[in-house]
Amino acid sequence: MSAELFEQRADLEDRKRQLEADLEITKDTIKSVNVSILTWMDANGVYQFKTDRYTIGTNTTLWASAANVEIAAKALEEAGHGELCKLSINGQSLSAVIREMKRGNGLPESLQEAVNMGAIKISESPEIRLTQKKEKV
């Protein structure tokens, strides 16, 4: 395989990092402009503004989580929404435990059966990893 291919990959990584840095600057600028727009719209009772290219409007997004699962579950059941309360398994923790087991002696029989039945899904995908050389000072 030619060294040119590896150099091309390194060049592409440099370009990607520059684009990502530019994107972060743009995102920060958008956040700042959005604060000014929201302040102006709120002060003027405007909920939508049209430009030549976009219609800019306000939208409120709400997310909720249960800080105390027992109290929240009881309150949800009493309010007629008990279907929201389910037993769950933390996917990141499960992945970490399975990763450690696979590096060690493999999966215990009970977990391997759960994988075979599709109760636990394992997905592995190899990736290329780049590490930038530190420049000598």
Res 119 pLDDT > 90: no
pLDDT 10s digits, 88-106 = 888 898 899 988 988 888 8
Which domain range does residue 7 map to? 1-59
130, part of any domain:
no
| Concatenated DSSP letters of 63-76 | ----SSHHHHHHHH
136, part of any domain:
no
Task: Give me the half-sphere count of Cα atoms (radius 13 Å) on the Cβ side of residue 98.
Answer: 17
Place of tokens 């450690």: 100
Specify whether 75 is located in the same domain as 47: no
Specify whether 76 is located in the same domain as 50: no
pLDDT of residue 130: 67
**Number of domains within the chain:** 2
113, part of any domain:
yes
pLDDT 10s digits, 2-50 = 899 999 999 999 999 999 999 999 999 999 999 899 899 889 999 888 8
Write out the two tokens for 119. 């109760």
Specify whether 39 is located in the same domain as 86: no
Cβ partners under 8 Å of residue 120, min gap 6: 94, 98, 111, 114
